[in-house]
Structure 1
Amino acid sequence: MSEKKESVLAGFKAFLMRGNVIDLAVAVVIGAAFTNIVNSVVKGIIGPLVGAIGTKSLDGYTSCLKGPCSVDPATGNAVGVNILWGSVLNATLTFVITAAVVYFMMVLPMAKYLARQEARRKAREGVKETMEITELEVLKEIRDNLVAQRNGSDGAGASTGTGTGQHRGGSSA
């Protein structure tokens, strides 16, 4: 039974040490810190700008569905049915701003970087293939010239072959 515990623990350790899990943990921590920044921007800048046409805070925008909509002074509880659409608007703006910042500051630059890396890789592979083809052609010409020399010719016309082995099977010198 201790072997099974060791293998389970070893498997769990391997799971935790995989790069994906650690990257995910870092992303969650950074995301939580980043959320505080975005919330501060929305609460301190965007909210007051939108609220300039009415109340100071978006949370103050409400609609009364079933009256009377007020707060009981004795208990502090809301009386009636109040729809807090300003809070929903505030949360929506926070989400949109967070998504825009993540896209424009992280996703878009990373996509451009990866596209440049892929283009460089393809360019390197294209140059490498060109070099290989050129080297192959040179080697074929050298082979054809050696075959022509072995046959006793001066090599004039040996380079006109396609390099497909047409000069093979020459004299048995």
Structure 2
Amino acid sequence: MSMVDEFKAFIARGNVLDLAVAVVIGAAFGKIVTALVDGIIMPMVGMAMGGVDFSQLFVSLDGNDYATLAAAQEAAAPVITYGAFIQTIIDFVLIAFVIFLIVRSYNRMRPPKADTPAPPSEDILLLREIRDSLKQRTP
């Protein structure tokens, strides 16, 4: 089988298409969650913490004090934007939680697997064989 034929068979299985759809939907969902965190959750958290805007939290590494993150970036100062990091962590937690809920719901909707009994152990098989041979010997 040539490499082109193998690739066609791989694509035709459907798993690649399912994966592509999942990636596109996941990217769109990530944008939705980011908008939710940036536009709704973080302003409420900031308001509850005394009006803090998390997107503006930073530490300047050059030793100078800057009034805003924009001023520090305009001065080309090296900064650690830990507020953006906090927002990204909240994004991740929310996305992970929603994915957990989706997987949990999917697993509950799936029909339960039929419990197949485990095959008997070697000891049981040997005992059965002995029992059957004894039955054959007795008149």
Q: Would you call these one fold, judging by a TM-score over 0.5?
A: yes
Give the TM-score of the pair, scaled to structure 1: 0.56
Task: Give the drift of 1:91.
Answer: 0.4
Alpha-carbon shift at residue 89 of structure 1 (Å): 0.1
Q: Secondary structure at the match of 1:98?
A: helix
Q: Which one has a bigger Cα radius of gyration?
A: 1
Match of 1:58 in 2: 54
User: 1 or 2, which has the higher strand percentage?
Assistant: 1
Give unmatched runs, 5+ long, in structure 1: 127-173
Specify which of 80, 84, 87 is matched with residue 87 of structure 1: 84
Written as runs of structure 1 = structure 2, the 5 A alignment for 1:1-173 is 7-52=2-47, 53-55=49-51, 57-70=53-66, 71=71, 76-79=74-77, 81-104=78-101, 106-114=102-110, 116-118=111-113, 121-122=114-115
Q: 1:54 to 1:66 in 2, by over 3 A?
A: farther
- Give ranges in structure 2 of 5+ residues lacking alignment: 118-139
Q: Highest relative contact order (Cα 8 Å, sep 6+), 1 or 2? A: 2
Q: Summarize deviations over 1:10-55 as a string: whole Å, max 9, x none.
A: 1111111112111111100110111111111101111101211245
**Whole-Å separation in 1 of the counterparts to 2:50 and 2:58:** 12
**Paired AA for residue 27 in structure 1:** A
2-side partners of 1:40 and 1:57: how far apart?
Answer: 15
TM-score normalised to structure 2 length: 0.68
